Amino acid sequence: MQFMKGKIQKIKIISIAACSITVFLFFLFILILSNKKQKQPQLNSEKLILGFSQIGSESAWRTRNTDSIFEAAAENDIQILFDDAQQKQENQLKAIRSFIVYQVDVIAFVPIVEDGWDNVLQEAKDANIPVIVVDRKIKANQSLYAGFIGENGVEEGRRAARYLLNKCRNSEGPVNIFEITGTENSSIVEERASGFREIIGTDSKFRIIHSENGDFLRSRGREIGDMLLASNVLENGNTTNTIYYNKQKIDVIFSHNDSMTLGFLDSMEAHKINPKGYGTIIISIDAEQESIDALTNGKLNCVVECNPNHGQMLMQLVKQVAKGESIPRITYNYETVFTEDDNFSKYDPRGY
């Protein structure tokens, strides 16, 4: 009898515990739900709503790009529904579909890669939501989007090569180039690579001996540097003054963005190699402040600007397409080149 009483007691305690846990979980769920509802930006449907899908925050350049869009939206009283795709295309597709469900007025996105956008753009078109492509280009039917705003990557590649042709005008050659590229299948890598090859192709002394993908990341730039410089340390610990790849002397490092270049410089520093006056010519693209500082400190030879400030121009285009007006197929940003021959005192702060 005593035994049964004990058993019933135990069952009572367990069921009370189970009930309270269920009640607790229920309230927790309500709390999360209400919090989630609160997170959805309370957008005022009177004002223009822009759905913006950004690829991530892989570089100082990218962060500035995002900031310039938020700043310009605030100045133009445009509300933003923002998504950071963490470098994944499937996240961008999901975000654009959520913008369609949300019935935003305009969609703008930075396509991490060139292909795979036709279906979702067709869905936006079917929902009568105009789309603007930002920063990188896509291979899709042009009727599926209103236009593009960003940089002319081909011209950036040409500028890097024109600097090199001038720098090596008196050298017999061969001039061996080691290229560090960014995200595979992205339009910007293909454009910079083709513009660069177009110009160096005018002189046979220039040879690209290898291209290594650094995914636009500083950490990858460092790894590539470590891979190359590891073979530079002689038995007695001294380092030679020349970098080799597969026993071929490297005369030029052409890096597709500053983050990878700065990662490479990190590696040189770690290998106690002072890039100043080092035999290898280093050319980079983006012109973030830390890279310009490296240039003025003699660690780099040339930095081609890629202007991340798309915000103001994008908001003007957003307003136009929201009114049903057409916009130019392509709108390019203004860009320049910084080299070791400049008067550095004339440089303004880069802001990124």
Angle at CA of residue 217, ends 238 and 214, nearest 5° = 70
Q: Could you say whether residue 253 binds ligand GYE (CB under 6 A)?
A: no
Which of 105, 190, 251, 286 contacts ligand GYE by CB under 6 A? 286
Q: How far is the CB of 273 from ligand GYE (least distance, A)?
A: 24
User: What are the C-alpha distances in Å from 158 to residues 42, 118, 146, 153?
Assistant: 46, 30, 28, 9
Q: How far is the CB of 32 from ligand GYE (least distance, A)?
A: 34
159/153 Cα distance (integer angstroms): 10
Binding mask 172-191 for ligand GYE (x = CB under 6 A): ----------------x---
Q: Could you say whether residue 136 binds ligand GYE (CB under 6 A)?
A: yes
Q: How far is the CB of 283 from ligand GYE (least distance, A)?
A: 13
92/95 Cα distance (integer angstroms): 5
Q: Could you say whether residue 261 binds ligand GYE (CB under 6 A)?
A: no
Q: Could you say whether residue 352 binds ligand GYE (CB under 6 A)?
A: no
Which of 54, 257, 267, 309 contacts ligand GYE by CB under 6 A? 257
Q: Could you say whether residue 59 binds ligand GYE (CB under 6 A)?
A: yes
Q: What's the N-to-C CA distance of the chain in angstroms? A: 79
Exposed/middle/buried for residue 165 (C-beta within 10 Å: 0-12, 13-18, 19+):
middle
Q: Could you say whether residue 92 binds ligand GYE (CB under 6 A)?
A: no
User: How far from chain centre, in Å, is Cα 174?
Assistant: 33
| Element counts in the chain: helices (H) and strands (E) | 10, 14
Stretch that binds ligand GYE, among 57-65, 73-81, 261-269, 344-352 (CB under 6 A): 57-65
Residues at the interface with ligand GYE (CB under 6 A): 58-59, 61-62, 135-136, 151, 188, 216, 257, 259, 285-286, 306
